[in-house]
Amino acid sequence: MRYWSVSDEDVINLVKRRYNVTVTSDQIARARGFEYRISWKKAIETARAVRFLTIKQAEEYMERVKKLEAPVPIKEFTKKQAHHNVPWVGWPVAKWPVKVADAFLEVLRNLENNASYRGLNVDSTVIVHASASKGMRIKNYMPRAFGRATPWFHDTVNIELVGVELPADLVPRKFSWARVLKAV
């Protein structure tokens, strides 16, 4: 059984394709969070939103989501969702998942600590892989009348983040919410 969903070779190939830079296994930092009781659909969308940001930018973004200042774009799970006035063009569906932001902040801080422990520059470490997958199902049953019972299950979510230290010229520039919000 593989512990990680992507191997070092997969990460190296991903960085080579996207950034045209060769990295080694020593420039890779990983972090995982297990069995969070959060919405897995919102976790998938949040993982998509923090991908290709630096660790500091992602932490700042999750703090703003937690304070309900910045939304997370919903791109895949859009059925029966309200449309909002959002600071980007093309995806009018947005959410403010506070519990998911808390879980991602915990894993992001773990990734930051792992990167600094490995001797990487945290300011130039970019999240190249972010995924959220279903964890175990917590089974529970709600008793009903006449000896019946209704399933009352809870799904959990596993979060995985992989960061790579990139050269300074390839690191995404500082993300400015003020510039984005003025454009609306």
Residue 167 lies in a domain: yes
Residue 121 lies in a domain: yes
pLDDT at 13: 94
Between 83 and 98, the more confident residue is 98
Residue 92 lies in a domain: yes
For 147-172, the pLDDT digits (tens) are: 999 999 999 999 999 999 999 888 88
8 A C-beta contact, residue 40 and residue 134:
yes
Q: Which amino acid type is present at position 168?
A: A
Split at pLDDT 50, 70, 90, the class of 5 is confident
Asked if residue 1 has pLDDT above 50, the reply is: no
Between 145 and 182, the more confident residue is 145
Domain total in the chain: 1
What residues make up the domain containing 61? Answer: 28-172
Split at pLDDT 50, 70, 90, the class of 81 is confident
pLDDT at 178: 47
Q: What is the CATH number of the domain that holds 112?
A: 3.90.470.10
Residue 84 lies in a domain: yes
pLDDT at 80: 85
For 120-143, the pLDDT digits (tens) are: 999 999 999 999 999 999 999 999
Residue 177 lies in a domain: no
8 A C-beta contact, residue 167 and residue 121:
no
- Give the whole-number percent of the chain exceeding pLDDT 90: 72
SS (H, E, C) 4-52: CCCCHHHHHHHHHHHHCCCCCHHHEEEEEEEEECCCHHHHHHHHHHHCC
pLDDT at 79: 86
Quote the DSSP letter at residue 80: T
DSSP secondary structure letters along 105-142: HHHHHHHHHHHHHTT--GGGEEEEEEEEEEEEEE--EE
User: Span 86-104, mean pLDDT?
Assistant: 87
Residue 13 lies in a domain: no
Residue 148 lies in a domain: yes
User: Span 70-78, mean pLDDT?
Assistant: 88
Residue 101 lies in a domain: yes
8 A C-beta contact, residue 14 and residue 167:
no
Q: What is the pTM of this model?
A: 0.87
Asked if residue 49 has pLDDT above 60, the reply is: yes
What rounded mean pLDDT belongs to the chain?
89
